[in-house]
Amino acid sequence: MGNNTVKSRSEIRDVVAQGIQDTKIIDVHTHLFPPSFGELCLYGIDELLTYHYLISEAFLWLDIPYESFWKMSKREQADLIWETLFLQNSPVSEAAQGILTILDELNVPVSKNLDDVRRAFDQRDVDEYISRVMHVSNVEEIVMTNDPFDPAERQYWEKGEMGDDRFRSALRLDPLVNDWDHTVALVREMGYEVDERVDRRTVKSLQQFLKDWIEKIHPLYVALSLPHTFTFPERGSSTRILEECLIPICEQYELPMALMVGTKRQVNPDLKLAGDMAGRADMAALENLCRQYPHQKFLVTMLSRENQYELITLSRKFRNLMIFGCWWFLNTPYLVEEITRMRFQLLGNRFIPQHSDCRVFEQLIYKWKHTKHILENLLMEHYEQLLKKGWPVEVSDIRNDIEKLLRGNVLHFINS
């Protein structure tokens, strides 16, 4: 490649593929924990098979009562899902194929006998295994989701047992905004003087609560998962908590707010965590937040496919808004390609193309492998078009673009 300039389609593919392979990823939103968090660190084939994506898919075929499934041990649940989705049916869905991608990338022999697969996962040193999974997926830093209202997690923060700089925290505060009437009791139990009515004393106490947890866990951002019905401003407690507690403290500590908008909780409560779905949101709330608080940075992802075009156009208007990822039900190859292509065409490289949203460690492997394949093809098209139009494409340009997409945009937006 003379003068570091690519001249052909094959050269572009080689440079793009190598760039994506070499670039270390920052996964900006997961539900993973380090091994020091004990049973909260999920891994292994039974955890993978009992992930809520596969549970809800299996129940499309199962005719057993929901209660019967939840009474089973995790191993029995995994056996049933394997029988239903891998033996009685071909593993066609993205979640099912993800299992096969994981086995392939970890060099686990593929077998229709689940016990054979289990043996390949047995007797692993957890610390070495987590490092191997991160190496295979090429993920260098993992941003967790950290819930101060979860007693199982809170005990580890109280003990100060983090001790792994590959894991970064994010302070998740959904209950404060979405369900203050019930959350007030939890905050009281944690030693803060708060009332159902968000009065001056409650605001002051909540501000102290936020400061204490920010000082305790040093989050990269404050996160809120919001329903599709979320509005701002409104006359209830959520707006007052946002305006007088969350946003002022985030501005004080220079923390972005990550807003994940569009959940429709417990459409089928019998499925428990698997019973949620997506709802189309009104963009006015985000418009109002971005306009009213120009110095507050917002990382935003939305769950409804129908909201994606509006979100992209909104992010063209406000530089304090950064789109990230294809969240939850959108994290399927067809939709990832469609949405990422649209983002490229309207935003250039100024977005964060993906996050894994993993709950089980090995999911890092398939979610990033599938995303990187799509990203490679889309970047190929992009650079081919530049070549056809006579624009010189440098190897350094390609590597710089990839670095921004997989890590640089995260770091710049959070730290600038």
Mean pLDDT of the region 173-185:
96
Rounded mean pLDDT of the chain? 96
**Closest to 286 measured CA to CA, from 305, 325, 265, 258:** 258
pLDDT reading at 3 higher than 70: no
Supply the pLDDT for residue 122. Answer: 85
pLDDT reading at 408 higher than 60: yes
Instruction: Work out the number of other CB atoms within 10 angstroms of the CB of residue 71.
Output: 10
pLDDT reading at 223 higher than 70: yes
| DSSP assigned state of 199 | -
Supply the pLDDT for residue 1. Answer: 42
Instruction: Work out the number of other CB atoms within 10 angstroms of the CB of residue 201.
Output: 13
The sign of the CA dihedral 42, 405, 325, 92 is negative
The interaxial angle of helices 363-388 and 126-137, nearest 10 deg, is 20
pLDDT reading at 11 higher than 70: yes
Q: Which long-range contacts (CB under 8 A, 24 or more apart) does 389-393 make?
A: 392/5, 393/5, 393/6, 393/12
- Beta strand 277-278 pairing with 257-264: antiparallel
The proportion of the chain whose per-residue pLDDT surpasses 70, expressed as a percent, equals: 99
Peptide bond preceding 233: is omega within 30 degrees of 0, i.e. cis?
A: yes
Confidence of residue 2 (pLDDT cuts 50, 70, 90): very low
Mean pLDDT of the region 73-92:
98
Burial class (CB in 10 A: 0-12, 13-18, 19+), 190: middle
Helical H segments across 254-394, by residue range: 284-292, 308-315, 333-347, 363-388
Q: How many domains does the chain have?
A: 1
Confidence of residue 134 (pLDDT cuts 50, 70, 90): very high
pLDDT digits (tens, 9 = 90+) for 310-356: 999 999 999 999 999 999 999 999 999 999 999 999 999 999 999 99
Mean pLDDT of the region 112-119:
96
pLDDT reading at 187 higher than 80: yes
Q: Residue 80 has which token pair?
A: 């049933």
Q: What is the CATH number of the domain that holds 296?
A: 3.20.20.140
pLDDT reading at 123 higher than 80: no
pLDDT reading at 100 higher than 90: yes
The domain of 111 spans: 5-415
Supply the pLDDT for residue 163. Answer: 77
Mean pLDDT of the region 367-385:
97
Give the H or E element holding residue 118. Answer: helix 114-121
CA 383 to chain centre: 28
Q: Which residues contact 354 (CB under 8 A, 6 or more apart)?
A: 324, 325, 326, 331, 336, 367, 368, 371, 375
**Dihedral angle of Cα 229, 233, 236, 242, to the nearest 10 degrees:** 100
